Structure 1
Amino acid sequence: MRSAQQILADAKVIAVVGASRDPYKPSHTVPLQMLRHGWRIIPVNPFVAEVFGVPTVPTLADLTEPVDLVNIFRPARDAVDVVRQAAEIKAPAVWLQSGIASAEARRIAEEAGMDYVEDRCLAVERALGQLTKLP
């Protein structure tokens, strides 16, 4: 299992499940910060066409390219199904944002051989590691 810092350092493309258009929600500000620091963000939201100017896809199954990380902004009860979907698309890692934890999601990720992080914020970890993808 890679550390949270190593997962971020290795990632280039992040699918964000539950990305929001609401500029006051962490599900908007966190992926926007990652985008501004050089990661490619693919918002996953079936209810809107774009988030921060980036076209959305309705589900992980609708992705047309591989992703390095699936970042989850959904309640723990929903995260289990999202982790199953991440395993189906062969995502190498899943990350449940701050306040989200699930023993079942962890088990599914481990059985699928995915790296797993829960109850941690991507943006905080990026800042702590002073990580950026910008040239």
Structure 2
Amino acid sequence: MYAEPGIIRKIIEETGDTWALVGLSSNTRRAAYGVAEVLRRHGKRVVPVHPKAETVHGEQGYASLAEIPFEVDVVDVFVNSDLAGPVADEAVAIGAKAVWFQLGVVDEDAYERTRAAGLDMVMDRCPAIELDALRLRNARVTS
């Protein structure tokens, strides 16, 4: 229910290429750092959102979504479930097109609010894993 294949495909392939990663820092040991690398390899612009507002992968970081001075297509959330709802609300407020909660990040109320606001949303999935799965499925279809 929270990760419909059609919505996953739409977000990855059609929603847009500017992804804000909330929780992304320059710590190379964190999952967010690796996912950012995968997204970048697939042509996505990855914008770090972290209280330290660090530059990561050459992209200026911001302390909050509201500070980003350009449109964001997808907000990818790497914070624990207790903090995720307010991030989803901020994504709605800035006009993002979709919200993606990472593996282990679940907030059903935030999901309902985000969908009611008209945004696509995926919860408890990793876009890096889904990108690879889509690429494999697409390769099978074209071969």
Q: TM-score, with normalisation over the residues of structure 2?
A: 0.86
1:50 is aligned to 55
Which one of 77, 86, 93 corresponds to residue 91 of structure 2?
86
The whole-number CA distance in structure 1 between the counterparts of 2:88 and 2:53 is 22
Once the two structures are superposed, residues 17-73 of structure 1 have per-residue CA deviations (whole angstroms, 9 ceiling, x without a partner) of 000211121111001211122111111112142112221011000111111100000
CA distance in 2, matches of 1:107, 1:97: 17
1:1-135 to structure 2, matched below 5 A, reads 3-10=7-14, 11-130=16-135
Structure 1, unaligned stretches of length 5 or more?
none
- Equivalent position of 2:139 in the other structure: none
CA RMSD of aligned residues (A): 1.5
Between Structure 1 and Structure 2, whose CA radius of gyration is higher?
2
What is the alpha-carbon distance in structure 2 between the residues aligned to residue 47 and residue 90 of structure 1?
23
Question: Alignment partner of 1:83: what SS?
Answer: helix
Identity within the alignment, %: 32
Larger relative helix fraction: 2
Which ranges of 4 or more aligned residues in structure 1 deviate by more than 6 Å?
none
User: Which runs of no fewer than 5 residues in structure 2 stay unpaired?
Assistant: 137-143
- Corresponding residue pairs, total: 131
